[in-house]
Structure 1
């Protein structure tokens, strides 16, 4: 027909710089379709739809033409899929006039369709009944669902927020009209964090949100299993994890999660363990609580009880080769942080994993993070590692195989950090209120390494080593014999001259504690020479400029002087004239006199 020869020049005119010319062109194309060859719409529907991104005046004309085609074009029933988008776009237009025009035309088109198909729609018209699954024409959608999903996935990362919003809404409708059995085989293979990124997850969450609950429940296990696949769940990208949480949230809200509890748990655990965004971590932890509630569990730690064994089975196989970035290592750290009282029920497995991954031949940063987590757990008042009463059984292994190997000196800043972490763990072990003979034996073995640690280059290590001595002196005094007492005391007195005021003060207070519980076989006469050396070294600091240190040293000498007051008195009387602050020295001399008198009486 002659009209077909006009199509190509008119299509070129659609790009004219003057909008009035573009409007005239759109009207002319509409007339061609109405009065000429209607099959030309196959070539024109795309360019006309693109005009919906033009000025409001142009969009208004496109909607008007679309309405005319839907009402009057011959063979329009064969081309609904090309005509209706021209009207549908107008229904969501940001311009009020365009939107109102599209709504009016949509209403008119619907009434005419109803009138033309009165026989087929007679029952619905007579009874004004809304179909249960409106509009009950899923077969037509299903035919094109793969192409539709491809477009939705690509558009879901658009820079325009309105586009993404409409993609989500469209996906919800698609999920309502297309069963999961149809769309899942098309969307699930795209979920891995590869070329598509998080886009398929955004579409999947909307599809699931739109799917009727009964249908979604039938497929929830398949969806959760796909999400738990390591290619999908073990991605640390923030956008990917946020999209993954959206899918999980929909599944938890709409379905009974008990059929797929482990899969959902493993996904949420990884996100909570690895995300650097605190908001994301909080959402993951909140969803873990929701899974527990929806599974009929009153406390979230019972969810960990349910699945911890399976998680440990999975990650233990790779523990000996972990690095700082290994996903299984991140999961393990997350468990230590989040599993709370459930840890005590699986302590043997946890200690076994620590023994596999902590040795120095592996990544030192893995060892460091494990030691830090272990220290945190040992210090907690709730004692999560002892929730099943088995800490006493495994604490000797923790000390001998996990803590002690890092106490000896090795060069380098990493080794220094590991020493600090190991000494900190030893402090926590001493405070764990577990005093079996095996634990005491291991602490005693470690105590032999403490004198060197008191002189470590790291201030934190020196301070913590003093803390170890303090705790042993109060909790396990039976571990300190006469030689150990004086070896430790010599090292502590040397710390009175430390560059750190904190270490100086701590060492003085620890020295006082050390001499409060003397070994049973301690003989002052045999140790007199060593006592004199201690007195002479400590007395110098009674004249220290730091008054707080003066007081702490005075208290330590007061305690030490009870062993041999005559020797200390002799040292004090000799050195007192050299001091600027003689009152502290004179006070101690008077105290030693009183002790001597008390002994005589």
Structure 2
């Protein structure tokens, strides 16, 4: 198996890869297993041990890195049984002092398996046992700001990895809350990144954090979030602007559901005013998105929002969206 994995890792030619696969199938038949994936299940543990022996010296040029990619890609559900070997290797190789190009490649591998976590690293339901290591020892250090394009690329890869973890639906509400508590400050910072993808995914992560059921977010923590999202309504990317608007709507719903509105009235008034500016945005899609945000937040202080809207409606190029908002609020049931 070591020879076959080495050939697969180094073969650029499709034909050679096909020959390796045929050899794998033949070996599976000899070992009386159903498929090459079953073969990996049998041998993945020893293969990882073989590779891990040299992981302290790996760089992006190490053959072992390509071999690890092959094993992780093909092991499938067997990865869930190999977390005791795999996670320490990732933890060591993804420390900030290690080769940046290697870390980028490893984050790509990790994101790929996390996206299918239930079929790979969480096939045994044990990923939660390594969540603390994954978050505090791998993700947090790589989200720290350092100058340079490579450092920015690593932060983008780390944010993408976190999004893959959240999207995998492998985390319970309690586990997602733990991730939220550990990483919200860093993700608020990555909302400012130069890379559009990083800003976009960061918006989506904050949205997921705010939606997390059972998560305890006090008023002090809540008011730190919305100004960073508000900045993104001025983003150069419309995709980011729309994602920020959606997340602001989630923020307002969270304030309502948590019963925090009395503590946040001045912040909500400020948010109303800023959103009303964007309700006159040149981009129709942004106007529509902001209208939905204001509708979502209108239940908090409807009288206040009516006054703020009436104060600016004459300044807008078209009163249409303000009128829609006012009509929406007129239809709201009276406050209890």
TM-score range, shorter chain: over 0.9
Deviation at 1:334, TM superposition (A): 1.5
Q: Give the structure 2 partner of residue 486 of structure 1.
A: 223
1:415 is the counterpart of 2:159: no
1:380 is the counterpart of 2:121: no
> Which ranges of structure 2 fall in alignment gaps of 5 or more residues?
none
The aligned runs of 1:512-527 (5 Å cut-off) are: 512-518=249-255, 522-527=259-264
Deviation at 1:495, TM superposition (A): 0.8
Q: Give the structure 2 partner of residue 393 of structure 1.
A: 129
Q: Give the structure 2 partner of residue 330 of structure 1.
A: 66
1:308 is the counterpart of 2:53: no
Q: Aligned partners of 1:570, 1:319: CA distance in 2, in Å? A: 63
Deviation at 1:436, TM superposition (A): 6.6
Asked if the contact 1:410–1:416 (Cα under 8 Å) also holds between the matched residues in 2, the reply is yes
Alpha carbon RMSD of aligned pairs, Å? 1.9
Deviation at 1:497, TM superposition (A): 1.1
1:473 is the counterpart of 2:210: yes
> Which ranges of structure 1 fall in alignment gaps of 5 or more residues?
1-264
The aligned runs of 1:331-370 (5 Å cut-off) are: 331-370=67-106
- Alpha carbons of structure 1 residues 477 and 470: separation in structure 2 relative to 1, 3 Å: farther
1:581 is paired with a residue whose SS is coil
Q: Aligned partners of 2:148, 2:312: CA distance in 1, in Å? A: 42
Deviation at 1:442, TM superposition (A): 3.5
Match of 2:22 among 281, 286, 307: 286
Asked if the contact 2:118–2:168 (Cα under 8 Å) also holds between the matched residues in 1, the reply is no
- Alpha carbons of structure 1 residues 473 and 281: separation in structure 2 relative to 1, 3 Å: farther
2:254 is paired with a residue whose SS is coil
Asked if the contact 1:423–1:461 (Cα under 8 Å) also holds between the matched residues in 2, the reply is yes
Deviations 1:144-199 (A, max 9, x none): xxxxxxxxxxxxxxxxxxxxxxxxxxxxxxxxxxxxxxxxxxxxxxxxxxxxxxxx
Match of 1:504 among 231, 235, 241: 241
Q: Give the structure 1 partner of residue 2 of structure 2.
A: 266
Deviations 1:330-367 (A, max 9, x none): 21121121111111111111001101111111111111
Q: Give the structure 1 partner of residue 31 of structure 2.
A: 295
- Alpha carbons of structure 1 residues 296 and 397: separation in structure 2 relative to 1, 3 Å: same
Match of 1:402 among 114, 138, 142: 138
Match of 1:572 among 297, 302, 309: 309
Asked if the contact 1:309–1:346 (Cα under 8 Å) also holds between the matched residues in 2, the reply is yes
Asked if the contact 2:187–2:202 (Cα under 8 Å) also holds between the matched residues in 1, the reply is yes
- Alpha carbons of structure 1 residues 436 and 541: separation in structure 2 relative to 1, 3 Å: closer
Q: Aligned partners of 2:311, 2:16: CA distance in 1, in Å? A: 68
Q: Based on CA coordinates, which of the two structures has the bigger radius of gyration?
A: 1
Asked if the contact 2:272–2:308 (Cα under 8 Å) also holds between the matched residues in 1, the reply is yes
